[in-house]
């Protein structure tokens, strides 16, 4: 039983091109060869939350809208990037910008930080909001990540909007 648990925890983080609707992009690696991969994870405070993703990575301009973040990409070795922008409802209420630009070049790696309380519950985690690709002076592509910090506390305390509205005195005309 213990072994299974450890394996599950270990495999919660994995490299992929897509993190999809039920995982979040918490890191990125660019191999020496130029192959870029996302590090996906599912922080335990995010267990029951999902984002909505399009079927394909089709944005050429990154993920700019305030309620969207990176859910995946198609990156060619010569540095063309198509991003999949997933929408998380009210994302802006849960996040704060953390790093404006984290540059990842070949052979480099970024992994966001996760904070936990004494019970082992995740209270906040870093997530990749956007990725832009550029070229250095020698023509080698590199990636600049915009990183947000997602605060789980409002998620746990969130009351559905309809409850607030139907409770006196909020519902008054
Ligand atoms: C996240 O999931 C929890 C548990 O299902 C839910 O109560 C909450 O409304 C969700 N939050 C958002 C912002 O979707
Ligand atoms: C990418 O990020 C690096 C490091 O933060 C910064 O110095 C550089 O200007 C950025 N590149 C572009 C084209 O914005």
Distance 160 CA to ligand 1 centre (A): 9
Cα 136 to averaged position of ligand 2 atoms, centre (Å): 10
Q: In this model, does residue 9 exceed pLDDT 70?
A: no
170 in a structural domain:
no
Inside any domain, residue 74: yes
The answer to whether residue 173 is domain-embedded is: no
89 lines ligand 1 (CB under 6 A): yes
pLDDT in tens, 144-163: 999 999 999 876 565 555 54
- Of 81, 103, 135, 147, the one to substitute when testing ligand 2's pocket (max ligand atoms within 8 A of C-beta) is 103
Residue 172 lies in a domain: no
- Per-residue pLDDT tens digits for 75-94: 877 778 999 999 999 999 99
Pocket of ligand 2 contains residue 50 by CB under 6 Å: no
Residue 169 lies inside a defined structural domain of this protein? no
Q: Is residue 92 part of a domain?
A: yes
Q: Is residue 171 part of a domain?
A: no
Q: How many domains does the chain have?
A: 1
SS3 assignment for 20-88: CCCCEEEEEEECCCCCEEEEEECCHHHCCCCCECCCCCCECCCCCCCCEEEEEEEECCCCCEEEEEEEC
- Angle at CA 15, nearest 5°, toward 115 and 133? 90
Ligand 2 atom 5: residue of nearest CA:
101
Is the CB of 50 within 6 Å of ligand 1?
Answer: no
- Residue 21 pLDDT level (bands cut at 50, 70, 90): very high
Can you give the residue range of the structural domain that contains 127?
2-164
Centroid of ligand 1 to alpha carbon of 125 (angstroms):
16
**Tens digit of each residue's pLDDT (9 = 90 or more) over 88-147:** 999 999 999 999 999 999 999 999 999 999 988 899 999 999 999 999 999 889 999 999
Please indicate, yes or no, if residue 25 is contained in any of the structural domains.
yes
């Amino acid at each position: 039983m213990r072994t299974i648990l450890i394996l599950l925890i270990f495999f919660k983080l994995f490299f992929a091109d897509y993190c999809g609707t039920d995982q979040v992009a918490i890191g990125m690696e660019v191999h020496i060869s130029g192959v870029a991969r996302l590090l996906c994870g599912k922080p335990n405070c995010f267990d029951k939350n999902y984002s909505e993703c399009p079927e394909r990575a089709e944005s050429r301009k990154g993920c700019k809208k305030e309620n969207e973040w990176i859910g995946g990409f198609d990156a060619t070795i010569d540095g063309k990037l198509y991003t999949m922008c997933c929408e998380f409802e009210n994302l802006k209420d849960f996040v704060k910008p953390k790093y404006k630009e984290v540059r990842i070049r070949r052979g480099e790696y970024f992994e966001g930080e996760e904070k936990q309380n004494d019970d082992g519950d995740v209270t906040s985690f870093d997530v990749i909001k956007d990725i832009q690709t550029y070229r250095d002076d020698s023509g080698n592509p590199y990636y600049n990540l915009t990183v947000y910090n997602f605060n789980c506390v409002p998620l746990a305390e969130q009351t559905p909007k309809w409850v607030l509205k139907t409770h006196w005195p909020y519902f008054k005309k």
